[in-house]
Amino acid sequence: MPGKNLTRDEAASRASILRVDSYDVRLDLTTGPENFHTVTTVTFSCSEAGADSFIDLIADSVEKVTLNGVDLDPAEVFADSRIALSGLAAENELTVDATGRYTNTGEGLHRFVDPVDNEVYLYTQFEVPDSRRMYAVFEQPDLKASFRFTVTAPAHWKVISNSPTPAPQAAGVADGVERATWSFEPTKRISSYITALIAGPYDEVRDEVQTRKGVVPLGVFCRRSLTQYLDADNIFDCTKKGFAFFEEEFDQPYPFEKYDQIFTPEYNMGAMENAGAVTFVEVYVFRSKVSEAKIERRALTILHELAHMWFGNLVTMKWWDDLWLNESFAEWASTTCQAEATEWTSAWTTFGTSEKAWAYTQDQLSSTHPIAADMRHLEDVEVNFDGITYAKGASVLKQLVAYVGREPFVAALREYFRKHAWGNTTLADLLGELEKASGRELTEWSKLWLETAGVNTLRPVFEVDADGRYSSFAITQTATEEYPTLRPHRIGVGRYAVRRSGSGDASDVLERIGYDEVDISGERTDLTELVGQEQPDLLLLNDDDLAYGKIRLDERSLATALSLPRGFADSLPRSLVLGATWDMTRDGEMPARDFVRFVLESLPGETDSTLLRVLIGQVSTAARLYTAPEHRAEVSALLSSSLRSLAESAESGSDAQFQLVEAWAASTSDPADEPRLRALLTGAESLPELTVDTELRWTFIKALAALGAADEVEIATELDRDPTATGKERAAEALAARPTAEAKADAWAKAVERNDLSNQMVEAVSAGFRRSADLSLLEPYVEKYHAMLVDAWAQRSVAIGERVVGGFYPFSLASAQLKDASDAWLAANTDAAPGLVRTVAENRDTIARALVAQERDRRG
């Protein structure tokens, strides 16, 4: 029984006989809060007379199925999310009349009610296989077609889809609601996963952009209650820079008629590249102060989705095997655009600091996989929107650009778009163009980098003569037992010297005195370039961050780095050295307490917002999970007191001040902080130029709740001040963060035992649940957690299942008992759903690594 799954083989055989011409989808969104009415008429041809096939649909019921004028019995043909079609003619017309269901999980057609004004907002999210939740569809990317949507909805709504929004026609009154019908023009031939419908009383801001094909209208939309915070000018500005850059880079006009960007409630990911109707998560409408890192990230997301209009939407992967290429390309293209065409010129540093760290972490979990993953069926695809598909893929693609050269790369891209516009491709099509343009053979490169998993570790090994010069120098490369592949790398080797300032250690700096770019491969590469050079104070492998690999510092370099935490003027080498110590800590080669101290000494004066964000995350993890239990209280006290004093001494009103205050409030478990938190909340105390706005108030309330100092009444009072959807999530998180057995049990009951919370609420409740300085509160959940998994997963959609299984794991325990319980569950449940097994295995790996790090920390 396929259930909701679809295999690659089934898709391939369906595509081999069918060609879909068009869909005519008629939707009535005025039939109540649970269901909608959907009628799909598909015209398609079949090359094999009399053949059988099927169309996909997830619906509460199917009222009528008509194939080529003959009515089929829905009870006979509709099962397992499919409608069986038999005896197909050369040309076919199929009509399916069904009742669809709105979701609150961010999959399919999501329905949200704004608590501020009770207005209803809908949006779709279809990737990977969820357009079938709105209409009957041959759900696979290579069966492209033209889509025509006709939508009946309340007359005061905006209705947005892939084609420009037409003028609505009055459609009478039903249940006291005035209705209208929007008849969209048919789209060009696109894949179903990038079709979209967004409907509700969204507010709208309009602009336009001059493109190669003339003026293209631009729209930005959000819920009415968020409009006051919408900085549309900034969004349009970034979007226009992207249009100009990509049209030039790809030598191909923007493929669609208009470009709308809609901020949507309870959204699962960052954004989705629906053709001409991109949806974004609402946290990108900044209702309170956010970090510079988040502003930069939003710009990158805007450019990422825009890049997909060409790579992904105009030219589309044949099957999900090339999902990584789709995503990695968009990451590469958007980062390149951001660095070269916007004010964020150090976008690649941000990429190295943030995205690559994500890739390295993911690549060291037992669930890691080759970049080019084998996507046998949809269940394989759904778990692969991960750090390998996005971040490692993009890191490796960046290397590929360096390997073939930027100019040949762009030439190949242009040819690729010209040749495959509106079609479907595989990786081989792109590699073929790259080989032609560059003259380089790429089979071996592709094999080593795309078809194998794992990250290599690179170390300098050398001898120094009596004069302090290298008498030998090599770089060694190792791999893990599970993923033994050694790879070719092009890497920079930087040499730095301490320059004494004369006015004391604090202003001593590290100056780069030499740099070599070298190719290495295999277990050991001797580098004659370095022989005879004076041993520097600090030798940095992977300087300039060209390579994808973990690096180690030699003893002297590590000592220099630790003694001069603010020695680098540039944030990239600082980030690389900090990254190396992070890897050493995670690999049990450096005590977590040393790492915590090093980071705390590196933070003062840090202005790179992303580096600051990443370091705060790492230092919190090190204190919470990697420190030996006997030192944890002391380290956690050091962490929160340091963050507080760093916040107090940070530049007035700066990004650092803001991030440090947030981090302090998020990390503290010190009851002595209660009066300070409260004073900041009430305004009795303040930090210079720090505005305690809506979100920061919640940050303080959550901290007070976690300390047991904010009760239900105070949380409810705060919710009265901010009675928004986000306010509700914050309140739920605060309630779950209270340090009592009842609060934890209540959180568990709401999100684990019941299954009616929306995706965002599950996330909020689980975040509060996990937050617990008193570990004894979480101990009972080791058993409860493993006992609920199979049933909880079976009852939930993928998006909610992942949030429950990932979010309610009692990570903070970080104990052998927790790891053993997960190991036992994994051993006993080898046949459980792949997505479930994978999430549990990743949780378990996190604890296994923590135990290794704790052991090292214990030895000091």
Applying CB under 5 A, the residues found at the interface with Zn ion are 327, 330
User: Least separation, in Å, of the C-beta of 127 and Zn ion?
Assistant: 9
As a dihedral over the C-alpha atoms of residue 389, residue 790, residue 841, residue 453, rounded to 10 degrees, the angle is -30
Catalytic site includes residue 305: yes
Of the listed 119, 282, 296, 305, which one is catalytic? Answer: 305
Nearer to Zn ion, 104 or 301 (CB): 301
CA distance 264 to 124: 9
Total H helices, total E strands in the chain: 28, 29
447-457: b (≥16 Cβ within 10 Å) or e: eebbebbbbbe
User: Least separation, in Å, of the C-beta of 1 and Zn ion?
Assistant: 32
- Give me the residues paired with residue 679 across strands: none
User: Least separation, in Å, of the C-beta of 194 and Zn ion?
Assistant: 11
Nearer to Zn ion, 327 or 537 (CB): 327
Largest CA distance in the chain: 94
Closest to 422 measured CA to CA, from 322, 318, 314: 314
User: Least separation, in Å, of the C-beta of 270 and Zn ion?
Assistant: 8
The secondary structure element, H or E, covering residue 332 is helix 323-341
User: Least separation, in Å, of the C-beta of 229 and Zn ion?
Assistant: 25
CA distance 765 to 654: 31
Nearer to Zn ion, 219 or 312 (CB): 312
Distances (CA, A) of 837 to 449, 787, 791: 26, 14, 13
Using CB positions, name the residue nearest to Zn ion: 330
User: Least separation, in Å, of the C-beta of 622 and Zn ion?
Assistant: 31
What number of other Cβ atoms are within 10 A of residue 780's Cβ? 14
Nearer to Zn ion, 302 or 474 (CB): 302
Sign of the alpha-carbon dihedral angle for 365, 370, 372, 377: negative
What's the angle, vertex CA 366, arms to CA 579 and CA 272, rounded to 5?
75
Residues across the chain: 860
C-beta of residue 373 within 8 angstroms of C-beta of residue 365: no
Coil vs helix vs strand at 120? strand
Phi then psi for residue 512, to 5 deg, are -75, 125
Task: For residue 183, give every residue at least 6 positions away whose Cβ sits within 8 Å of its Cβ, in sequence order, or none.
Answer: 150, 166, 169
Closest to 165 measured CA to CA, from 265, 242, 255, 276: 276
Nearer to Zn ion, 300 or 663 (CB): 300
Q: Please identify which residue in the block is written with the tokens 């295995």.
A: 841
DSSP secondary structure letters along 134-200: TS-B--STTS-BEEEEEEEEETTSEEEESSPPPPPEEEEEETTEEEEEEEPPPP-SB-GGG--EEEE
Nearer to Zn ion, 327 or 722 (CB): 327
Sign of the alpha-carbon dihedral angle for 326, 327, 328, 330: positive
Sign of the alpha-carbon dihedral angle for 510, 512, 517, 522: negative
Cβ-based burial of 818 (10 A; exposed 0-12, middle 13-18, buried ≥19): buried
DSSP secondary structure letters along 674-716: HHHHHHHHHTSS--TT----HHHHHHHHHHHHHTT-S-HHHHH
Nearer to Zn ion, 77 or 330 (CB): 330
Instruction: Give catalytic residue positions.
Output: 305
